Structure 1
Amino acid sequence: MKRLTVVIGVAALVSAGLFAEELASSPISDAGAAAGLNVQNEAAPADDGVLSAQEISKSIEEVDGIKVFAEVLKNSSDTVASVASASGVTVLAPVDTVADSEKISKNIADYIVPEKLTKENLESKNSVQTLSGKVLPVEVSDTAILIDNVEISDFSSSADDKVAVCRLSGDFSEKSLALAE
């Protein structure tokens, strides 16, 4: 009888593990994610090419001069749930001295490019497409790089290698963003 109880107990544990694994990859959990339910452990970094707003903001919070942007991004998970990109993402973050948190929060997806950019590959582009779908013009001169008529003051790396930061000397104007649509 003890042997039968042990066999049944082991079978139950194995079945429970298999059930949990299948549930995690089922359409039910995908539906839960679509409904806004958190089905992944937020502490674990995404290795599937998808970064949440929380992961991006945590990654950039130590970059000097963009604390306002990082805070707005951290609080915008209802607007920017996640970004899918195999190469990473680039945040176009206005520096704190000129950042308008209200304007940024209204247009946060206009400040995120679902591609990790470097200064070199940005200089070879005519435009970049943001998470919102807007195409922003890129202009390169001998002295500056402009995105949507806003000068990039510096390129930085974040705490992890999936997020690049372009510190902007100003906010994007709502007028120019409307024209970019």
Structure 2
Amino acid sequence: MTTWTIDHTHSTAAFTVRHMMITTVRGSFSDIKGTITYDPANPAAASVEAIIPAATVNTGVADRDNHLKSPDFFDAPNHPELTFKSTSVQSTGENTAKIIGDLTIHGLTHSVTLDAEFLGQNANPWTKAATVGFTASTKINREDWGLTWNQALEAGGWLVGKDINITLDVEAVQVAETATA
């Protein structure tokens, strides 16, 4: 089993949400930290733990970002981290898996399933460290995590959609390799 540390400089958690029912807002979180344990011969034994600082939310609009950090949404001062901890991994193909785990946002925890793909391994050209890449995605209803702020639109509908599409792009560096029993 090999342990990898998420490279926060080359990893992002991106999201999209409908805005005014007519367009999509894109945003991301940075400075992701965490570990991945992975054995290509036994993907089901893999595990993932990740911590995402709520205050790193960035949609490219400072006023919106500040609103997202406020108690109306992430309440970053009181809930500074979004966390994910896998509970099981189910291989779905040669380089794909479903990663089931507990996602905590705004102090509330619910199970989610990430559709993940192993993108490959290479040596970092500067450090020579073994480095792997993964991508994963899921869709959540933000209201399940207490992110319920919204505003009705005069023409009908809501300002902010409920469904959030999440895409994770993760690069991780090998830190340890241990024998498996």
Tell me the TM-score normalized by structure 1.
0.31
Q: Higher helix share goes to which structure?
A: 1
Q: Higher strand share goes to which structure?
A: 2
Max Rg structure: 1
Tell me the TM-score normalized by structure 2.
0.31
Flag the structure with more relative contact order, 1 or 2, with Cα contacts below 8 A and sequence separation at least 6: 2
